[in-house]
Structure 1
Amino acid sequence: MKKTVFILSLIFFNILQTRSQNLLEVESKRILTDNKTKKTIKGLDGWMFLRDEINHLSKGKFYGEVSKITSENKQNGRQDPIPAIVDFNNQLQKLGVTLFVMPVPPKALLYPDKLSKKLSIKNTYDVNYKELFSKLEKSGVKTINLISKFKNNRRKGIETYCKQDSHWSPNGINTASEEILKKVSENSWYIDYLKENKLSESPNKLEIEIEGDLWKNSNKSDKKEKIKIKQYNKLSQLNNNSPVLLMGDSHCLIFHSSNDMLAENAGLPGVLASKLGFNLDLIAVKGSGTNSVRIDLYRKAKKIDWIKNKKVVIWCFTGRDFSESISGWRKIPVVKN
């Protein structure tokens, strides 16, 4: 009897999840239609969203056979993200390097109620992401799923995204860094490396006013957002010989590389280094983090001593690129055969 009740409860729960997922897709399509070609979609309570991100969420499932329809790339063999990620992971494993794939979840998955009154924070909209992570893990790819941690932050009143920018906030960066630390510190080499290379730094705590990319692409009538940052001037410096390589898109550069990245030395490279206790190596681009960063890695790996120093690669990129990357998902060599 208890088993039957459990199975029925599970079926009912899955039905509710599917309905919530469908509602997000339907509402996203409506919002895209209502806003036509606007790059910035204004939500509620001063929150802004990137059009491409809403477009990604409107498509539903974005991997497997259906990616031939949902992907913005139209070349066969480049539409499904899973084969390229698994191939990259397998190549790194052969070199003795552990890969962690850490997509930054779409803002609307964590703040659906700020996108539309019809969407509720109480509902679950990450069904497709859960399945993707499960498929990657079953294929031997280690992942860092930030969604549940970001949800916990939201319940505590901690904002993990900027309201007026398409990137995560310093709070989001801090949470991601803590999750990476948990994974990296499980390895035996970490303690040995830390004994001889440990660094620490007291950050400069600042409050800055930003001109977020979403704000810039709006009518600029909203008051500029203020953000509290922690600046690590020493730990943000890069180390080409570091055992940890951080690679990805502008989420690795926001608050780190100044100018249009809003601040300097307060982004993921410095914050993560402060958690780990040593400087990182970095390969990052302002465009899509799917292919170009892996090409850059291949070029650097021609210097065999460089890749020999690596123990861990953290691949951090925006989740919307699973479907919205124009260049798609190529299989790219790590080292020359």
Structure 2
Amino acid sequence: MKFIYGLCAVAISFGLSACASAPANQGDSPAQSAAVAVPGQDPAATAFEIKTIDADHQVRIVAKPTLAALDFAAYSANPIRLAGKDEKPENYTGKMAGAKIADYPFPMLDSVSESVPAIAQAVAPVAWEPLSKILYAQTGNDSLSQVLNAVEAVKWDEPDVFRAFQTVSRLWGVPMSDGSVEWWAEVTPASWTGRSVFYGKLKFASHGETAEVLNYYLTAEMNADDAMNWARTLSSYWYPTLNTDLEQHTPGDFWPVGSKNQPFAVMRGNPMGKAMWIAFEVPAFRLTEEQIRAKAVADSLAAAGEVVPVNRVLDTDSSFRLQTLASLEGSCPVNAETEKFKTALAQTLAKLPKEQNAWATSGASSAETFLWFRRNANYLLADKITGQDSLHNPLPRLLELKNYLDSIGVQLLVVPVPVKEEIYAERLVAGTPADLCVNPAGREFTREMLAAGLDVLDIYPSLMAAKAGDEPPRFSYQRYDTHWALPGMLAAMELLASRVTQYAWYADAGAKPGSLNMQETTTLREGDLVAHLPDAEKSKYPADTLPVMKILKGAEPYKGGKNAPILLMGDSFTGVFESVDQKSGGPGSLLAFATGLDVQVLTSWGGGPGVYHRMMKMKKDMQSKRLVIYMMTARDFWQSPMEWDALK
């Protein structure tokens, strides 16, 4: 029981409980279609079925909602993850195209063969990336990940090709009588290599608790809520470079409308400028037509009766805005130092392979090594933000949103979140002064928003000041991730709470200070930048245990309701620590704790520019709102892959 509780805790840290059995099957068995499985195995237990709706829409049906089955369905031959990878890299020469697998060294593999190993007939395949994270979290050993990364990192004597020549597409763990686990891998070469799939036994065996972890991973079934947490967490981790988000969909309802598919989650991805969808379906989570009708009626009644409209009066005092505007005048000039920084950063990016979206810089110790995001760096090299075309210039859309909210008596507060690269510029480019403002274009856009009449909370100075409290390996932003860590988030929330309490209507909003409790805890988070490093480097950066806060209402985790006077909407910065990881400890919960006002959170994992369209569908909920806080990463102000289009 001690082990099971331990694995449950690990799964919870990834947004799951993984400790509940699935409910009884409420629907028909899935229709037969293309099955991804090894011949001789039971697809219901070891793989998933694919229903292709059209070129851009798939449904993946998993018979049993184990974490292993869902992970395998998500990672295996996923077109969102594979988009663009079938094209031959520009610098690929193919000079070893004629070399045989047996003649080229894969020293980490034994018994290399082009035939499916016999053991695959009896053991369920898994996706190695998510399994290795859980093994590391439970056992503290990352050796399996290191070995498999090494397989994927073999470059066939072409080290300048960034893209992987091969991937470990399936992994089989075989428990042995001595308690160890042997591993067999299926290795799939990239299509442009012209090579065939091959198999091999790893020259490595796992010991300790690995067999028990693997068994639980393969057999413990999740309930519907756990499965949704799994989908939400997966979407959040893939968001930075695959632009993934979950579509608004009733779990277990039909999708698309009129089809026979009933997924519990629908993921949208747009990694290459073209959207595609993968839906995940579990027969046990399907709703009957009677349940669908009953839910529709219940939702309609809840929408009609739950929200209590409030009498609103806008705070038209412009003193805070004008003070902020004045503070920005001349605060981030273009000078020799900023030009030196931009030149050095541009040179760094030019040296990276075009497909490499993350890279590392070392500090005084391993605890001070940081990973950086290419899109964030590009934002620091931006030209005039309001000079972009109409689909990428945020200012007209933000003003349009303000005019709409003004018309219904709701305040708008815009909170751009600076990227890690501008807060820690001295760690990004050696020799940069720690107090240098390196983003004149971004700071100028903040000034332009304020000058245009938008109420903007400028959290940049607070985040720069928060660095003084850094205690490696703890910083204001996560070392291996694009998001802030607790110190940075608390600095921003302190300023935000202060601003909220200054609005003229705050005294009449029914605040109840002290009604919530705060609890210190920790969460395990894999950095979202690790997956975008060269394959040989990924195993250097394991999941990190981060200190976090959890907000409780009584004994239950806090969650704002529809009658909340504040709507906090935006991208993953509103959701991290709020709806994924340990939950109820993100910006919404912290703001509710600090102000005594209920806060409803609306997160678009696919990017901040899309969330206001979701808000427009919440017309009834908006009757209770006094304030909309629009919080999002500032990088999406520049060449956002999600376009800034008109309100709908």
149, 156, 166: which one aligns with 2:482: 166
Task: Deviation per CA, 1:197-223: give whole Å up to 9, x if none.
Answer: 455333221233321111343312135
Q: Which secondary structure does the structure 1 equivalent of 2:502 belong to? A: coil
User: Which of the two has greater helix per residue?
Assistant: 1
* Deviation of 1:120 (Å): 2.5
188, 207, 219: which one aligns with 2:504: 188
| Structure 1 residue 241 corresponds to structure 2 residue 563 | yes
| Structure 1 residue 30 corresponds to structure 2 residue 324 | no
2: CA distance between counterparts of 1:104 and 1:34? 28
2:630 maps to what in 1?
315
**Runs of 4+ residues deviating >3 angstroms:** 13-17
1:9 maps to what in 2?
none
Q: Contact conserved, 1:194 with 1:278, CA < 8 A, in 2?
A: yes
443, 451, 470: which one aligns with 1:130: 443
Q: Contact conserved, 1:229 with 1:266, CA < 8 A, in 2?
A: yes
2: CA distance between counterparts of 1:283 and 1:209? 23
Q: Which secondary structure does the structure 2 equivalent of 1:103 belong to? A: strand
1:40 maps to what in 2?
358
1:100 maps to what in 2?
413
1: CA distance between counterparts of 2:584 and 2:428? 31
* Deviation of 1:14 (Å): 8.3
Task: Deviation per CA, 1:220-248: give whole Å up to 9, x if none.
Answer: 21354331111113363121111100000
| Structure 1 residue 250 corresponds to structure 2 residue 572 | yes
Greater CA drift, 292-301 or 32-41: 32-41
Q: Which amino acid aligns with 2:385?
A: Y
Task: Deviation per CA, 1:29-68: give whole Å up to 9, x if none.
Answer: 2121222221222123211111111122123x34222x24
Q: Which secondary structure does the structure 1 equivalent of 2:606 belong to? A: coil
| Structure 1 residue 19 corresponds to structure 2 residue 327 | no
Q: Contact conserved, 2:564 with 2:600, CA < 8 A, in 1?
A: yes
Q: Contact conserved, 1:25 with 1:57, CA < 8 A, in 2?
A: yes
| Structure 1 residue 275 corresponds to structure 2 residue 594 | yes
The aligned runs of 1:194-233 (5 Å cut-off) are 194=510, 197-198=512-513, 200-218=515-533, 219-233=538-552
| Structure 1 residue 56 corresponds to structure 2 residue 372 | no
1:203 and 1:325, CA in 2 relative to 1: closer, same or farther beyond 3 A? same
| Structure 1 residue 79 corresponds to structure 2 residue 392 | yes
* Deviation of 1:155 (Å): 2.7
* Deviation of 1:129 (Å): 2.4
Q: Which secondary structure does the structure 2 equivalent of 1:327 belong to? A: coil
1:278 and 1:16, CA in 2 relative to 1: closer, same or farther beyond 3 A? closer
2:402 maps to what in 1?
89
Q: Contact conserved, 1:174 with 1:272, CA < 8 A, in 2?
A: no
The gaps in structure 1 that reach 5 residues or longer are 1-12, 69-76
Identity of aligned residues (%): 21
* Deviation of 1:149 (Å): 0.7
Q: Whose RCO is larger (CA < 8 A, sep 6+)?
A: 1
Give 1 or 2 for the bigger CA radius of gyration. 2
RMSD of aligned C-alpha atoms?
2.1
2: CA distance between counterparts of 1:277 and 1:247? 18
1:325 maps to what in 2?
640
Task: Deviation per CA, 1:267-305: give whole Å up to 9, x if none.
Answer: 111111111113211211111111x2111111111x3xx
1: CA distance between counterparts of 2:331 and 2:598? 44
2: CA distance between counterparts of 1:277 and 1:14? 34
2: CA distance between counterparts of 1:87 and 1:322? 16
1: CA distance between counterparts of 2:384 and 2:608? 17
2: CA distance between counterparts of 1:122 and 1:240? 42
Q: TM-score, normalised by structure 2?
A: 0.45
The gaps in structure 2 that reach 5 residues or longer are 1-329, 364-368
1:206 and 1:216, CA in 2 relative to 1: closer, same or farther beyond 3 A? farther
1: CA distance between counterparts of 2:370 and 2:394? 29
Q: TM-score, normalised by structure 1?
A: 0.83
2:123 maps to what in 1?
none
